[in-house]
Chains A and B, each alone.
Chain A
Amino acid sequence: MQRAKFRWTWGIVVTVVALLLSACGSGGNNASNNQAAAGGEKAANAPANAAEKPAEETATAASGYPEKPIVVVAPSGAGGGWDKTARALTKVLAETKLVGQTMTVENKPGGGGAVFMAEYATQETKNPYKLFVSSPPILINNLKKEGNSPFGYKDSTPLAQLTKDFGAIVVGADSPYSDIKALLADMKADPKKLTVAGGSAPGSMDHLIAVLPAYKFGIDPKAVKYVSYDGGGEAVAALLGGNADVIATDVSSVAEYLKAGKVKVLAVTSAERLGGDVKDVPTLKESGVDAEFTIWRGVFGPKEMKENELVYWQQTLTALNDTPEWKAELQANAWESEFKGSEDFIAFLGEQEVLIKDLLTALGMAK
Chain B
Amino acid sequence: MEVIQFLADGFASALRWHNLLFALVGVLIGTAVGVLPGIGPMSGVALLIPVTSTMTGGLGPEEAATSAIILLAGVYYGAMYGGSTTSILLNTPGESSSVVTTLDGYQMAKQGRAGAALSISAIGSFVAGIIALIALVLVAEPLSNVAVKFGPAEYFSLMLLGLAAVSGLAGKSMTKALMMTVFGLLLATIGMDNVSGVARFTYGLAVLYSGLEFLTIAVGLFALGEVFKTIIGREYAVGTIARVGRILPTRQDLKDSAGPIARGSLLGFFIGVLPGAGATLASFFSYIMEKKISKNPQKFGTGAIEGVAAPESANNAASGGAMIPLLTLGIPGSGTTAILMGALIMYNVQPGPLLFDEHPEVVWGLIASMFIGNLMLLVLNMPLVKLFAKIIETPPKYLLPIIVAISVFGVYAVQYSTFDLMLLIACGIAGYFLAKNDFPLAPLVLGLVLGPMIENNMRRALTGSDGDFSIFVAKPISAVFLIAAALWLVVPLLLKLRGKKVLINEEG
Contact = CB atoms under 8 A, between A and B. Distances in A.
A26 B48 CA distance: 10
Contacts of A256: 330, 350, 352-354
B182 interface: no
Given A23-B409, A79-B331, A104 B194 contact: no
Nearest to B354: A260
A29 B39 CA distance: 11
B197 A141 contact: yes
Interface residues of A, number: 77
A251 interface: no
Contacts of B402: 12-13, 16
Which has the most chain A C-beta neighbours within 10 Å: B331, B402, B416?
A: B416
Nearest to A114: B197
A234 B275 contact: yes
A27 interface: yes
Interface in A106-139: 106-112, 114-115, 118-119, 122-123
Nearest to B150: A241
Interface stretch (B156-164, B229-237, B341-349): B341-349
Interface stretch (B101-109, B120-128, B460-468): B460-468
Interface in B132-150: 145, 147-150
A193 B126 CA distance: 48
Interface in B185-237: 191-199, 206, 209-210
A238 interface: yes
A88 B342 CA distance: 9
Interface stretch (B368-376, B390-398, B494-502): B390-398
Contacts of A262: 353
Name, among A103, A192, A238, the residue most crowded by chain B CB atoms within 10 Å (CB to CB): A238
B196 A147 contact: yes
Interface stretch (A32-40, A49-57, A294-302, A335-343): A32-40
A47 B446 CA distance: 48
Nearest to B464: A195
A23 B39 contact: yes
A35 B463 contact: no
Contacts of B346: 87, 91
Contact of A229 (B191, B412, B413, B460): B460
Nearest to B49: A104
Given A31-B414, A192-B466, A234-B276, A241 B341 contact: no
A170 B348 CA distance: 25
Given A78-B339, A147-B197, A241-B148, A115 B36 contact: no
Given A204-B197, A227-B152, A240-B148, A259 B354 contact: yes
A287 interface: no
B394 A9 contact: yes
A234 to B, nearest CB: 7
B46 A30 contact: yes
A23 B82 CA distance: 15
A83 interface: yes
Contact of B36 (A20, A91, A112, A149): A20
Kindly list the 7 A-B residue pairs having the minimum CB-CB distance in the complex, ordered from nearest. Answer: A147-B197, A78-B338, A33-B416, A241-B148, A243-B151, A256-B352, A260-B353
Interface of B: 32, 35-36, 38-39, 43, 46-47, 49-50, 53, 145, 147-152, 191-199, 206, 209-210, 275-276, 325, 329-332, 335, 338-339, 341-342, 345-346, 348, 350, 352-354, 390-391, 394-395, 398, 402, 405-406, 409-410, 412-418, 456, 460, 463-464, 466
Interface of A: 9, 12-13, 16-17, 19-20, 23-24, 26-31, 33-36, 77-79, 83-84, 87-88, 91, 94, 102-112, 114-115, 118-119, 122-123, 141, 146-147, 149, 192, 195, 201-204, 225-230, 233-234, 236-238, 240-244, 256-257, 259-260, 262, 332
16 contacts: A12-B398, A16-B405, A20-B405, A24-B409, A35-B416, A111-B194, A112-B197, A114-B192, A115-B191, A118-B192, A228-B195, A233-B330, A236-B329, A238-B152, A256-B330, A332-B348
